[in-house]
Structure 1
């Protein structure tokens, strides 16, 4: 019988058995020690500087820290997956799951040293899991779907999620905001229907919840100053059309032999643009939003007719406006009927801090909202957003499930 030869790439680690198990546990312990001090109300924030971009992040959110740590060891990477899974499924408790996993491994290590087979250890862990689940179910409190104190209970859940966060001193203020925001959503509770916008400056208590859609004023061409900044009972055209004159020299080649022919080409382009603008005006819309640019000719055309326009609107904001105000995003101006236009009671452009915001209120399908956060610095606002994300996830989870377990 010929001997078999297996070739491995140079540098391949072929270690196995007990030494490898101990190595895996030690690697996980090192990661756990890195996030251990962030747990609880007295937990400390970590300052993590990204190696490539040099961007600094200050956070005590377990999932955020785990994602930013440059972990090489394959076994320790599983802890990152645990934190990500917890963040996606529950929202809060990302540090806790990493610490629990690390603590289990710490208790198991002596048995591995003594030569106990991993299958026996796993069987024991599964048995303890079933005992824990039974105990938790016996402690759980059922919530009636239409309970009178349900709103208060949801606020308590949101407050608990914020206890260990940077904004714990303002938890009363933010827990009310979070509960109001989640209760505005439809029964599916889609997370992307809660917009979070950050504006530097001001105190945390200056943050506000807009029952509708709000987004930062987009890039504007000359003429926008003449446009009205407030409408009542407005009609909104949602477009995915470019409304500006294009320099077609890169896209097409037209050969002409006299000036008149060239003038006809130029005139045709203007005619096409003006026909589009006329159809938008005739539709009765007085607010025009487009995902693509709206140029200076179109901006001035709309301003002359007391219409407001905003081009280069982010897709997520356009979708939330469609969800709240109705209508549809159109890729042509030929079918701009009343049915495809959005409607809202009040549209206004307001100054918030150093930014201008377009705000839509009184939407018929009020199943979306926007949080506008104020604070001192970018890092502070980013951590506030992460803290609110955890609280929002917990409130959603509490609404979706009919029981809770009290904790400290």
Structure 2
């Protein structure tokens, strides 16, 4: 049968555009995320394995840090990139739990997959997951213990922070050297300004050679010897209570012919110009000497003339100091960075510390400022046999520092080792029995997904995961809320009493990020991948549609 007025075919998308939509597309996206989960699963926990990643330039990285691995994997699937984003967000927000949040998000999707295949709307699943998340956050806040509640003594607070640091390090390369690094991490965090707790004020320097326990904690600032000219070796390398001047001035003899055209008619005029050039730099140096400074630091170069001038007067100088190091020096010793030498007030513009010395560490020489009066900063000098080892030590310490920082700021902790996840799982199962309909099944699925953490911890340790989970379910049903995987006894135990502690904020942030990521994947039911054009650019469009997001590749 034909009609006279047939609607013509309308071509909206460019030829070659790949358009996938519907429930099958959501399942496909979930499968992509599960592939990422399989990669990260073996790295979870104290007995998790490391992954060796080689990039296109042949550079190798050995790590079990979730955010680092995902960043280096170069994920191209648009949906799976969501997991990379939540891992990075977890890393920047709380510092640890990057592997947990990715595994948890993938497991939440895995549990929802059967419901989607049976035809349940993704909006119903999203609503149930949000409800479950709110219940979990409320329960964590009820269960969390204030580490200052049992005593406000500094000693007890420090012990609590050390316990949090130990837990954060348990799954890292430095686990065997934890006793050595725990003190370093807690000292570093407690040295920060309590008002802003800026972790950038903790300087980390990597020096190849030696063992990990040759690493040093400096209660001030340390940076490697900067580029220096002849005369530097004649300068003193140790001071007691020095006066420190920080500059942003180039102290080099500059020929004015580089900056301007100069015409001279006789030798005397040329000599006057040369003398003027020398006089400009000498006036600056004499003004610096007049301040009484023993140490002169500058972000810009300090030339050979200035270096020799300072050496003759027993003044130490260092030019081309990096901006980060200079900011930390100011924070530690006091004073301020000067951009001119004409108006320096020794009382307000100069800083000081108890001792300064230049020491040999490994193959490099370092300038150390110790005993700083305003010490709101510190420096960790990390040693190790290989660059990859030192890089992983740095990542491990970063996670521990962030955990301790969050514990200082929030003071609420929960037991780790899968204990809090099992308690939340039990709570959600009990809650699901009080409601009817599809929500009951979906929230029960959320509860089952939480068990992936203790299950994977057990599998990575080589335990019987089914047996461990059954014991944990039994213990939590009897009210043992802090029971989790005990690696020392290869069984289950009270992880709160064995000081396996984590800040409650880490768990709340991980659950929130994982749930939001899962819900985002459920809401995307169409993916449009546009054909690459001749110029190498990818063009795309987003179709209209309520509740439909379209990631572009």
TM over 0.5: yes
1:119-162 CA-to-partner distances (Å, cap 9, x unmatched) read 00101111221232233233211222734411111001000000
In structure 2, the partner of 1:162 is: 169
Q: 159, 170, 180: which one pairs with 1:173?
A: 180
1:305-325 CA-to-partner distances (Å, cap 9, x unmatched) read 000000000110000000111
1:393 aligned onto 2:396? no
In structure 2, the partner of 1:328 is: 336
1:248 shift after superposition: 5.1
1:308 aligned onto 2:316? yes
1:77-88 to 2 correspondence within 5 Å?
77-88=81-92
Aligned pairs, number: 407
Higher Rg of the two aligned structures: 2
- Write the distance in 1 (CA, Å) between the matches of 2:15 and 2:160: 59
1:188-337 to 2 correspondence within 5 Å?
188-247=196-255, 250-337=258-345
Q: 369, 382, 392: which one pairs with 2:378?
A: 369
Q: Tell me whether 198-207 or 317-326 shows the greater mean CA deviation.
A: 198-207
- Write the distance in 2 (CA, Å) between the matches of 1:131 and 1:344: 52
Q: 115, 122, 130: which one pairs with 1:126?
A: 130
- Write the distance in 2 (CA, Å) between the matches of 1:280 and 1:10: 71
Relative distance call for 1:109 and 1:274 in structure 2 (3 A) is same
1:212-260 CA-to-partner distances (Å, cap 9, x unmatched) read 1111111110000100001111111100000012355554332333333
1:18 aligned onto 2:26? no
Relative distance call for 1:9 and 1:220 in structure 2 (3 A) is farther
- Write the distance in 1 (CA, Å) between the matches of 2:373 and 2:39: 49
1:9 shift after superposition: 4.1
- Write the distance in 2 (CA, Å) between the matches of 1:296 and 1:243: 9
1:249-275 CA-to-partner distances (Å, cap 9, x unmatched) read 554332333333222222211110111
Relative distance call for 1:252 and 1:178 in structure 2 (3 A) is same
1:407 aligned onto 2:416? yes
In structure 2, the partner of 1:382 is: 391
1:335 shift after superposition: 1.4
Q: TM-score, normalised by structure 2?
A: 0.71
- Write the distance in 2 (CA, Å) between the matches of 1:343 and 1:11: 68
Relative distance call for 1:296 and 1:10 in structure 2 (3 A) is farther
Q: 325, 341, 364: which one pairs with 2:350?
A: 341
Structure 1, unmatched stretches of 5+, are none
In structure 2, the partner of 1:33 is: 38
Structure 2, unmatched stretches of 5+, are 418-553
In structure 1, the partner of 2:488 is: none
- Write the distance in 2 (CA, Å) between the matches of 1:9 and 1:219: 57
Relative distance call for 1:340 and 1:22 in structure 2 (3 A) is same
1:10-57 CA-to-partner distances (Å, cap 9, x unmatched) read 543321111211121111111111211111112111111222x33211
Q: Tell me whether 307-316 or 70-79 shows the greater mean CA deviation.
A: 70-79
1:71-110 to 2 correspondence within 5 Å?
71-110=75-114
Q: Secondary structure at the residue paired with 2:18?
A: coil
1:138 aligned onto 2:142? yes
Relative distance call for 1:3 and 1:257 in structure 2 (3 A) is farther
Moved over 6 A (4+): 1-4
- Write the distance in 2 (CA, Å) between the matches of 1:378 and 1:9: 49
- Write the distance in 1 (CA, Å) between the matches of 2:171 and 2:16: 43
Conservation of the 8 A alpha-carbon contact between 2:147 and 2:160:
no
- Write the distance in 2 (CA, Å) between the matches of 1:363 and 1:192: 18
Q: Tell me whether 366-375 or 383-392 shows the greater mean CA deviation.
A: 366-375
- Write the distance in 2 (CA, Å) between the matches of 1:7 and 1:262: 76
Q: 57, 60, 70: which one pairs with 1:56?
A: 60
- Write the distance in 2 (CA, Å) between the matches of 1:300 and 1:209: 32
- Write the distance in 2 (CA, Å) between the matches of 1:10 and 1:226: 74
1:307-360 CA-to-partner distances (Å, cap 9, x unmatched) read 000000011000000011110001100111111011112111111111111011
Q: Tell me whether 335-344 or 376-385 shows the greater mean CA deviation.
A: 335-344
- Write the distance in 2 (CA, Å) between the matches of 1:267 and 1:55: 53
Relative distance call for 1:259 and 1:95 in structure 2 (3 A) is same
- Write the distance in 2 (CA, Å) between the matches of 1:4 and 1:259: 89
Q: 110, 117, 121: which one pairs with 1:117?
A: 121
Q: Secondary structure at the residue paired with 2:320?
A: coil
